[in-house]
Amino acid sequence: MKGLSLCIDIDGTITEAYDWILRANAYFNKKITPEDVKVYDMHKALGVESDAYDKFYNLYGELIHEEARIRRDVKEVLDKLYERHEIHFVTAREGKMKDVTKRWLFQHGIPIDTLSLLGTHDKVSKAQELDCDIFIEDRYENAIQLASYGFQVLLIDCYYNQGPLEKGITRVNNWQEIKAFIEKYAQKTYHYSKIAT
């Protein structure tokens, strides 16, 4: 078995957070910018009804996921982490997005142990099932919930996830910071386990 169990969200975490804006602006005739996205729920950021956004997502969701750009340093960092740790992708995407998700991960050469498409933002039970050591996330509410169950969370900084951080949540700005945190955490965990044995 590898070292740590790393659970990683997909949208806004390994993908760029605002790539959906271009298509949404064209569809809804809006002119929002990344700086305007102060909330996670996209329909609220756009100022449209949730039903209207759902219709848009049903039409363009797969294409948006397919076109999403990968965040800087994601592949290099994950390749390095995969040498010693388990990598589990845990996303709120619905099951119908499985094919496009697997295709995107494969096309970008992302190392992976498991992929879970939950269809919900409640990730606690899956994190428990995977014996998660660190959860990497971009949704503020998810981070708060996971931390309340004792998980160590890395919250990747976005305009829409500002707020006070609870114990167990660390805000990070990029994947190099994520790598540094995990390496330090793994060293500490390994050191303590050596002392205990």
Edge-to-edge strands of the sheet including 152-156?
114-117, 86-91, 5-8, 134-137, 152-156, 169-172
CB 157 within 8 A of CB 134: no
Band (pLDDT 50/70/90 cuts) for residue 2 is low
17-30 pLDDT, tens digit per residue, is 999 999 999 999 99
pTM of the model: 0.92
Residue-range domain boundaries for the chain: 5-16+70-196, 20-67
47-103 pLDDT, tens digit per residue, is 999 999 999 999 999 999 999 999 999 999 999 999 999 999 999 999 999 999 999
Q: What pLDDT does residue 187 have? A: 87
* Domain 5-16+70-196 annotated CATH 3.40.50.300: no
Q: With a cut of 70, say whether residue 135 has pLDDT above it.
A: yes
Band (pLDDT 50/70/90 cuts) for residue 197 is very low
Q: What pLDDT does residue 1 have? A: 45
